[in-house]
Amino acid sequence: MKKTGTIIAVIVGVILIWGAGTYNGFVKKQEAMTTAWGQVENVYQRRADLVPNLVALVKNYAEYEQGTLIAVTEARAKAVAAIVNTERFDEIEFANFESAQDQLGNSLNRLIVSIENYPDLKANEEYLTLQAQLAGCENRILTERERFNEAAKTYNQSVRRFPSSVIAKMFGFEKRPYFEAEAGAERIPETF
């Protein structure tokens, strides 16, 4: 009888240790994903911080198409206002954030293409510096989005694999969304 009790205690102990380790693994992966998300927000914020400088420089330099400047300013406001709650991280909130950031990126691209009509502005040192900083921001955004997707992949695999999926369901760890290319992204842009 003592042997049976000892065996049961050992089995229960192993299960508890495994469960605690699995839970702690989820927490660690979730924190890695949240950190990666913070970096994504950081580089998007850096881009948003550069936009007013670019708009002011363009305004000072050219009699410019007002609609384009307004579109950039409005897209920036939407992008800055879009926030994702990392505790929930639901698909809708994530899609709204991504959409706002894409709108800002698209309006910046239209602004930069339109600047081609102003040779003096294109040669301006301040403009060239801002353009280089924006290009750097776009590269950082791509890098940080890739890092976030890797962290989300690691987390999602853990949540979905058996037997750890049992612990995930018990404690509410759910699959998280990825950044995905927008529809039509496979086509080469005609404006560049």
> pLDDT (tens digit, 9 = 90+) per residue, 91-121?
788 788 888 888 888 888 777 777 766 666 6
Q: What is the pLDDT of residue 17?
A: 92
155-178 mean pLDDT: 88
The Cα–Cα gap between 90 and 78 comes to: 19
Radius of gyration of the chain (CA): 24
Mean pLDDT of the chain: 80
- How far is Cα 27 from Cα 23, in angstroms, rounded to an integer? 6
Q: Return the closest-CA partner of residue 78 out of 39, 51, 109, 104.
A: 104
Task: For residue 103, give the amino acid letter.
Answer: Q
State the helix-helix crossing angle for 66-81 and 91-114, rounded to 10 degrees. 150
- Taking Cα atoms as reference points, which of 111, 107, 176, 181 lies closest to residue 142? 181
pLDDT recorded at residue 186: 47
24-80 confidence digits (pLDDT tens): 998 899 898 888 888 888 888 888 888 887 777 777 665 555 666 777 778 878 777
